[in-house]
Amino acid sequence: MAAKLRSFLTILGIIIGIASVIVVMAIGGSAQKLILNQVSGVGSNLVGVLPGASDEKGPPASAMGIIVTTLKFTDLKALTEKRNVPNLVDIVAYVTGSATVKSKNGSYQTSYQGVTASLLNVEDIKLKSGRFFIKEEDTNMARVAVLGSNRAKDLFPNEDPVGKTINLKDLSFTIIGVLSERGSVGFSNTDDMIYVPLFSGQKLLLGIDYVNFMRIKIDFKDNIDRAVIDVKKTLREKHRIKNDASDDFSVRSSAQAIETLTTVTNVLKYFLVAVAAISLVVGGVGIMNIMLISVHQRVREVGLRKAVGAKNGHIISQFLIESVFVTVIGGIFGIIFGTLVAFLVAVIIKNLGYDWEFIITLSAIVLATSVSVFIGLVFGIYPAIKASRISPMEALRYE
């Protein structure tokens, strides 16, 4: 209280440091939950097949945006044979692109997917009106399309899009159906998507002969591990791969995908926490500097206390208590400020349309409080010891 400005600046450094840790842990936890919900929202009895090899604990190259062309439509045909994967219920292949879509009401930059007719059977997607593709349209490059609910409202406000036409990459497509609202699942928002038959997406829009990934629906959860083995065996035979280490594809169940993403997001989350913790170390150095200044300015006070009987332990306790008190006060305000910032971020992101949860864990608060006390002790020890070594005789003569 005798040095209000000095104490405030010290506390401010701790507030910023603690708030940074709280915000990073809250945003990291919320982002991790969003990512995991995206994967689990697709379905629990699904197996994903992606082009490109990968370590069992890491994502395949294609998941990092690298184009790999090893998966073909013929692989899908092989997997659908009952003798190859007996537990397969259905399978869907995807290709993805983006382009400008035009209707009589305007134009929009949009994402589109070329998919097989089995999409509705594999994913939890419902039709609002019209119909979806039939198997014959998968491979005959039919110029038909199904719109997500938001895209239908954008292109045809206040009217039924079924039967109308749109231009995608200057090619005319007839709308045959509109999907019900679903939201963002599996890292894409189906409500904003345009779906066309697989070969139409491959040949007409993208000019490719490969697929970006496939999803397989398995009959029961208990059969997923067996299905993964069957899928790998079938693709190795199809691709003439004799050594497992030479795989040019990756097969993941939903549970494996969640486990992999949890590992990756945990590493990123704790890395960011470590970066934020640097500000706490800076705040701790600030405390030590302030306490050293305090020792220098209070030499006569310390000398007088020692002259009337105070021991070295009393002096050390006094300065340590002051140091810890300053950091704990800063920690409390830092927790409050960090929580408010994390809540504000959650509100903003939620208003942007993401299923973002506001997550403040007890462990984050306990960690922040413990760290603030620890910093107060560690960075207060040296000034406290230095104060305890002041000679009473020299201190009382000190000007």
pLDDT digits (tens, 9 = 90+) for 69-85: 889 999 999 999 989 99
Chain centre to alpha carbon of residue 49: 21
Do residues 123 and 30 both lie within one domain? no
Name, in order, each residue with C-beta under 8 angstroms of 225's C-beta and a sequence gap of 6 or more. Answer: 253
- 170 part of a folded domain: yes
- 358 domain residue, yes or no: yes
Report the pLDDT value the prediction gives residue 304, as an integer from 0 to 100: 77
Report the pLDDT value the prediction gives residue 44, as an integer from 0 to 100: 62
The answer to whether residue 139 sits within a structural domain is yes
The crossing angle, in degrees rounded to 10, of helices 362-388 and 312-351 is 150
243 and 267 inside one domain: no
Question: How many domains, the chain?
Answer: 2
pTM: 0.61
Q: Are residues 350 and 307 in the same domain?
A: yes
- Examine residue 44 and state whether it is found in any structural domain, yes or no: no
Which of 212, 247, 282 is the endpoint of a domain? Answer: 247
Residues 233 and 152 in one domain: yes
Instruction: Kindly state whether residues 76 and 225 are assigned to the same domain.
Output: yes
In the chain, which stretches have pLDDT less than 70?
1-2, 35-44, 54-66, 183-188, 254-261, 276-277, 279-280, 283, 297, 353, 394-399
- 224 and 98 in a single domain? The answer is yes
Q: Convert the pLDDT of each residue in 140-149 to its tens digit.
A: 889 999 999 8
Q: Let me know if residue 287 belongs to a domain.
A: yes
Same domain, 208 and 355: no
Q: Are residues 136 and 188 in the same domain?
A: yes
Whether the CA torsion 48, 52, 57, 59 is positive or negative: it is: negative
Q: Give the model's pLDDT for residue 125.
A: 82
Could you read off the pLDDT of 380-394 as tens digits, one per residue? 777 778 777 777 776
Q: Is 182 within a domain?
A: yes
Q: Which domain holds residue 303?
A: 4-38+259-397
Q: H/E/C letters for each residue in the chain?
A: CCCHHHHHHHHHHHHHHHHHHHHHHHHHHHHHHHHHHHHHCCCCCEEEEEECCCCCCCCCHHHHCCCCCCCCHHHHHHHCCCCCCCCEEEEEEEEEEEEEEEECCEEEEEEEEEECCCHHHHCCCCEEEECCCCHHHHHCCCCEEEECHHHHHHHCCCCCCCCCEEEECCEEEEEEEEECCCCEECCEEHHHCEEEEHHHHHHHHHCCCCCCEEEEEECCHHHHHHHHHHHHHHHHHHCCCCCHHHCCEEEEEHHHHHHHHHHHHHHHHHHHHHHHHHHHHHHHHHHHHHHHHHHHHCHHHHHHHHHCCCCHHHHHHHHHHHHHHHHHHHHHHHHHHHHHHHHHHHHHHHHCCCCCCCCCCHHHHHHHHHHHHHHHHHHHHHHHHHHHCCCHHHHHHCC
